[in-house]
Structure 1
Amino acid sequence: MDRLGSPLVVDPPQGVADETSRAPGGRLTRLVRLPRLWLVAAFLVVALLALGTYALTRGPETPPITATDVDKAVRDGITKAQEEAAKAPPDAAAAYRAALPSLVTVATRLTGAKGAQRGTGAGVVVSADGSVLTALHVVDGADSIEVTFADGTSSPAGVKEKDKATDIAVLAPERLPQVVVPAVLGGGAQVGDPVFALGHPLGLNGSLSAGVVSALDRKIRVDSNQTLEGLIQFDAAVNPGNSGGPLLDKGGQVIGIVTGLANPSEQNFFVGIGFAVPIATAGGVAGSPPQ
């Protein structure tokens, strides 16, 4: 014991902390610091663990793109495009589906010297008010006109507008179907373009025939008093019952109104040459802007 009668306190060995605190009951509890070497070792362990975790979670390196990769991507793209094209319907089918809801049957009755005569032609709905575009010669002089829409709705109709110089008439039905489906009017045609005539040839309703534009700006003599000019010549089959029906492009848009066929033998059947009034001309009679 020292002179104050206190317990002897021995100095800690070198490298050990000499911080003390008084524990309950008056005893001394020594707080010993870890040597700095242990701190460094612990830090290194934590760092190594972190690096290991990063190595396990990081993604693989992106390999460089090679010429083989490019070639494969091009081949895959071509294959996919060909598969999509194969799934698409043919032009004729697409045109038919697009235009059929707008097709109209035009039935006429005419009383003349030979008694009552009935005629049948075609037409196409061109506006939301149900106006029907057709050929004037289909309805000219008729005592009565009846139109039948694609959904089966029938209605009497009158001639709203007509132009003898172009053989175009616009019909106004008295009654409309629940849903009116106007056709989409297309633009100009070019020689060689695929075209489709839609109508009711020989009474066969809703028939489609296919061909190409054979020539443009044709002039034909209808009779001794009339010549039609600026016509589209095409080779799709048309027969009586096609008159007034639409001539379609491959998207189903109306590019003309069928007006007749070449008839050098005076026979009423297909001879391979049909004519249509361009829609820019026909639509003008109906009040549509020029195409």
Structure 2
Amino acid sequence: MEEQTRSVTRETDFHFGRLRAQAKAWLRRGWPFAAGIVAAFLGILLYFNLYPNPIPLTDDEVDQVVVNAMASATPPPSYSSQVYQVILPSMVLIRTTGEDADGEEGNGVGSGVIVSANADILTSLHVVAGATEIEIFYADGSESTAVLTAADPENDIAVLTPAQLPEVVVPAVLGNPNAMRVGDEAYAVGNPLGLAGSMSAGVISGFDRTLPINDEFALTGLIQFDTAVNPGNSGGPLLNRRGEVIGIVTALANPSEQNFFIGIGFAVPINTAASAAGAPRY
């Protein structure tokens, strides 16, 4: 009996030994895999600790982000600001000294625009009519005297030639008034009431208008516009949205016979005005 018990014990020890040996062999072969699982788990845990999920924005925060983005956006420049930058180097302020209608010495202010590489200046004839001295002031701050070298009384157009040119001569680009339509944008740059380099914006109101000057004379073929102009704008350019000169401002209409703007201005089409400076009609 004792011998049987020792035999069972040896057999049991043998089986346990085999199991321990198998377990050790499995651990030797499987520990890299287990270590990889543990490492992956630790890596995931570390990632979520270092990079937690973002907190969703509230509706108010989203609205504020949109407002901030819109506030920081730079809008494109307006047509009027581009037109002003295009024409400004070609503008001149005209000051005259001479006798007024009553024969008394007086001063006048008007506008003009450079239209050639020689700095020939287009303006309205009535701006310089009767002047004994003409001074012009360029956009760069320089100035010069000028003389009347050509005139077209039927269209109230004059050409001035300056004694001194500006450092850089920038002739204006002449546009095509025949391409304009009623309702198109119209810009005026000039010196109303002596306020140099002023700009106003409006639209074309009509074409081929007639403006009686006196009982014997009337200007014809004029462009009508509602762009604000006042004394001092005369002789300055009327411009399209590309900054091209489509007319020379010549007059404003006012049934009250007061010399201020009420919404109706007139310009000589540039294809008519430029002919006084030697350009062909087009």
Q: With structure 2 as the length reference, what TM-score do the two structures score?
A: 0.71
Question: How far, CA to CA, are the matches of 2:103 and 2:271 in structure 1?
Answer: 38
Q: What does residue range 59-78 of structure 1 map to in structure 2 within 5 Å?
A: none
1:228 maps to what in 2?
A: 219
1:284 maps to what in 2?
A: 275
Letter in 1 for 2:156: D
1:114 Cα offset (Å): 5.2
Paired residue for 2:166, among 177, 189, 199? 177
Unaligned runs of 5+ in 2: 1-73
1:92 maps to what in 2?
A: 80
1:87 Cα offset (Å): 4.5
2:149 maps to what in 1?
A: 160
SS in 2 for 1:270: coil
Question: How far, CA to CA, are the matches of 1:225 and 1:96 in structure 2?
Answer: 38
Aligned residues: 206
Question: How far, CA to CA, are the matches of 2:93 and 2:214 in structure 1?
Answer: 26
Alpha carbons 2:99, 2:130 under 8 Å: kept? no
Paired residue for 2:106, among 117, 121, 132? 117
Question: How far, CA to CA, are the matches of 1:225 and 1:173 in structure 2?
Answer: 33
Alpha carbons 2:223, 2:269 under 8 Å: kept? yes
Question: How far, CA to CA, are the matches of 1:90 and 1:142 in structure 2?
Answer: 39
Paired residue for 1:148, among 129, 137, 142? 137
Q: With structure 1 as the length reference, what TM-score do the two structures score?
A: 0.69
- Is residue 2:232 matched to residue 1:246? no
1:128 maps to what in 2?
A: 117
Deviations 1:225-251 (A, max 9, x none): 320000000001000000000001001
Question: RMSD of aligned C-alpha atoms?
Answer: 1.2
Deviations 1:69-116 (A, max 9, x none): xxxxxxxxxxxxxxxxx8431111111110011010011001355532
Determine which structure has the larger helix proportion and give its number.
2
SS in 1 for 2:246: strand
1:287 Cα offset (Å): 1.1
- Is residue 2:197 matched to residue 1:206? yes
Greater displacement, 110-119 / 264-273: 110-119
Question: How far, CA to CA, are the matches of 2:143 and 2:266 in structure 1?
Answer: 28
Letter in 1 for 2:91: L
Paired residue for 1:268, among 256, 259, 272? 259
Unaligned runs of 5+ in 1: 1-85
